[in-house]
Amino acid sequence: MLLEFEKPIADLELKLQEMKELAKGKKIDLATDIQSLEEKIQTLKKETFQNLTRWQRVQLSRHAERPYALDYIYEITNDFVELHGDRTVKDDKAMIGGLGDIEGRTIMFIGQQKGRNTKQRQERNFGMANPEGYRKALRLMKMAEKFGKPIVTLIDTPGAFPGIEAEERGQGEAIARNLKEMFMLKVPVICIIIGEGASGGALGIAIGDKVYMLENTWYSVISPESCSSILWRSWDYKEQAAEALKLTAIDMKNNGLVDGIIEEPLGGAHKDMKAMAKILKQTILDSLKELDRIKPEKRIEQRIDKFCSMGVFEV
Amino acid sequence: MAWFKRTDKGIKTSTEEKKDAPDGLWFKTPKGNIIHTRELKNNSYVCPDDDYHVKIGSKEYFEILFDGNKFEELDAKMKSGDPLKFVDSKPYSSRIEQTITKTELNDAVRTAVGKINGLDLVVACMDFNFIGGSMGSVVGEKIARAIDHSLKNKIPFLMISKSGGARMMEAGFSLMQMAKTSAKLALLDKAGIPYISLLTDPTTGGVTASYAMLGDFNIAEPGALIGFAGPRVIRETIGKDLPKGFQSSEFVLEHGFLDFIIDRRQLKNRLTTLLKLLNN
């Protein structure tokens, strides 16, 4: 699975591989050719990825090979115990959570989970949680608070699920409650958008002392496609909608709506999952170090003040 | 000379001098009942024949609730910025200007403090006429400040929601208004000050997923559309027709998310009873 702008790079990489094979087999000295091709690839990669359009970043955030929440969690923790269920209705597989440790520190991990193949995608409902998912998340957050463990949420959702049962069980109420309760959590909360951050479905687990976005992710009130269909009355203006919504990590950071951007390996997180996980782990550790120094009441106050200062208006 | 003989030819009144015809002297309900608007006004904008609740705005709600229609409006002058320089079919800034002229409102919520049957109450009321009652920075900020007023003066807070959801033209900023208002409500909750959320037709999207569903008391007018996702989106997602009465106030009450449904004609007195019960 390659995106349009990944193709020229992939073509060159294939050529490089062929060249290396050739050099191995026939003992011809292609070292200089190989080196120049490698340099060419690197330059092309840099050029491509430094000049991504907003829509291209949206595409990267949805890349079929992009690492998902559980990929990162298993990569960065020594032990991880997944916990299930909201204790009321069922276990929502679009929302995962559990206790894990990094460098001896136990953390409550919570996140939306997408699937890799058709079967998994259905099981995970494409990362679209139902109310029980948000209630499961809240149950785990309250547990973390009880045991004094910090919370890390990994956000990756095209939205909260719009379905009949979701409405019957109060999708709006479930998200609203999470927003309110998360402000009052006494433990540090770190939220990281690792893929898609669509609207209330994302925000429902994204009230944190630190909110970060990976470089190639998006976070906004609506997806570019839906925005296009509503404001332009056609699905064809998604690129334009992506531009107008200013939904990338850089935009959101510039507008003061997130705290920071986490750099991805060149070519995107899917090109080097282990390297990405390492950066993620370091960010979590650094943030915890900073947040540990603040008293819980002060942390809550700062969390509230931060979100309350967001907005542009004239008095 | 015949009394009816026209001496001057043509119509003499200039266009400017012509009075606008009252905007619908008669109102027709969806069931086809016709009622004079004056009678409608005297009946809290509810049709006496079929109990249809006409969609009304902050002006009418304030008039229904506040004693003698007396209240002090908060942050009345606050207006929207255009942080993203958003342009769709027209620039957001001119959309705002035009809507202000058309509706004589500054944004989609008005907040005020006054008395209902002698009891202090802070009221925030949304106006659907203003870009579909959408929630942008101004809506979030005015609600936040109204809650601050409640907190500071220990006065109960009533939120009247009527909204299609978040305002797309403020994108990320509008999303964060959900967080902002929820944060303030968390503080109100902690302070033990009552919060009553009245959901009216329609209340959907980010408004449902934040302050509208966070009341100590969630109440609704009869027959209102209340939901997170809009009916069209759900129908398209699941590819099935929706059951009758889906996402109506009655449906939401049945599923346990409302305390009660209130006829607008009884609203003021029921709120008074509730507030008095809390005070005793």
Question: What's B215-252 look like in SS3?
Answer: CCEEEECCCCEECCCCHHHHHHHHCCCCCCCCCEHHHH
Q: Which of B82, B174, B247 sits opposite A221 (nearest CB)?
A: B174
Mode of pairing for the β-strands spanning B71-74 and B109-116 = antiparallel
> From CA B265, how far away is CA A47, in angstroms rounded?
66
CA B191-B196-B201 angle, to 5 degrees, is 150
Question: Confidence band (pLDDT; 50, 70, 90) for A233?
Answer: confident
Shortest Cα distance, chain B CAs vs residue A47, angstroms: 27
How many whole angstroms from its chain centre is CA A129?
A: 15
Q: Which residue of A has its CA nearest to B188?
A: A180
**A 43-82 → B contacts, CB under 8 A:** none
Interface test with B, best of A191, A221, A250 (most B CBs within 10 A): A221
Q: What is the pTM of this model?
A: 0.94
Tell me whether A220 touches chain B (CB under 8 Å).
Answer: yes
Q: Which two tokens stand for residue B201?
A: 């037709």
Q: Which of A170, A173, A313 sits opposite B138 (nearest CB)?
A: A313
Do B253 and B224 contact (CB within 8 A), yes or no? Answer: no
The pLDDT of residue B21: 47
Do B256 and A168 contact (CB within 8 A), yes or no? Answer: no
The pLDDT of residue B23: 62
Question: Confidence band (pLDDT; 50, 70, 90) for A1?
Answer: confident
Shortest Cα distance, chain B CAs vs residue A297, angstroms: 13
Q: Which residue of A has its CA nearest to B251?
A: A168
Whether B172 sits inside 8 A of A222 (CB atoms) is no
Q: Which residue of A has its CA nearest to B210?
A: A176
Q: Which of B88, B208, B240 sits opposite A172 (nearest CB)?
A: B208
Contacts of A230 in chain B (CB under 8 A): 168
Shortest Cα distance, chain A CAs vs residue B160, angstroms: 16
> From CA A144, how far away is CA A142, in angstroms rounded?
5
Question: Confidence band (pLDDT; 50, 70, 90) for A28?
Answer: confident
Q: What is the dihedral of CA A109, A111, A114, A119, to 10 degrees?
A: 60
The pLDDT of residue B17: 60
> From CA B278, how far away is CA B271, in angstroms rounded?
11
Q: Give Dmax over CA atoms of chain A in angstroms.
A: 76
Crossing angle for the helix pair A54-61 and A238-245, to the nearest 10 degrees: 100
Whether B88 sits inside 8 A of A304 (CB atoms) is no
Task: Say how many Å lie between the first and final Cα of chain A, rounded.
Answer: 50
Q: Which residue of A has its CA nearest to B89?
A: A232
Whether A227 sits inside 8 A of B180 (CB atoms) is no
Q: Over range A81-92, report the average pLDDT.
A: 97
Do B156 and B274 contact (CB within 8 A), yes or no? Answer: no
Q: Tell whether the torsion through CA atoms of B96, B145, B206 and A66 is positive or negative.
A: positive
> From CA A212, how far away is CA B65, in angstroms rounded?
44
Interface test with B, best of A299, A310, A315 (most B CBs within 10 A): A310
Q: Which residue of B has its CA nearest to A304?
A: B183
The pLDDT of residue B170: 97
Hunting for tokens 């000050």 — which residue is that? B193
pLDDT exceeds cutoff 60 at A135:
yes
Q: Is B114 helix (H, G, I), strand (E, B) or coil?
A: strand
**B 1-60 → A contacts, CB under 8 A:** none
Sheet holding B71-74, edge to edge: B71-74, B109-116, B119-126, B157-163, B195-203, B217-220, B260-261
DSSP strands (E only) in A126-273:
151-157, 189-198, 210-214, 218-220, 260-262
Q: Which of A176, A246, A304 sits opposite B214 (nearest CB)?
A: A176
pLDDT exceeds cutoff 80 at A26:
no
Q: Which two tokens stand for residue B179?
A: 């967080």
Strand-pair partners of B198? B160, B219
Q: Using one digit for the tens of pLDDT, what is the confidence trace for A270-293?
A: 999 999 999 999 999 999 999 999
Tell me whether A3 touches chain B (CB under 8 Å).
Answer: no
The pLDDT of residue A32: 87
Tell me whether B216 touches chain A (CB under 8 Å).
Answer: no
Shortest Cα distance, chain B CAs vs residue A158, angstroms: 13
CA B35-B36-B40 angle, to 5 degrees, is 80
Hunting for tokens 């060419």 — which residue is that? A40
Tell me whether B88 touches chain A (CB under 8 Å).
Answer: yes
> From CA A123, how far away is CA B237, in angstroms rounded?
16
Q: Which of B77, B79, B175 sits opposite A203 (nearest CB)?
A: B175
How many whole angstroms from its chain centre is CA A239?
A: 21
> From CA B247, how far away is CA B230, in angstroms rounded?
9
Low-confidence ranges of chain B (pLDDT < 70): 1-3, 6, 11-23
Whether B187 sits inside 8 A of A164 (CB atoms) is no
Q: Using one digit for the tens of pLDDT, what is the confidence trace for A239-249?
A: 999 999 999 99
Q: Which residue of B has its CA nearest to A206?
A: B179
Interface test with A, best of B82, B178, B219, B255 (most A CBs within 10 A): B178
Cβ-Cβ contacts under 8 Å between A and B: the total is 188
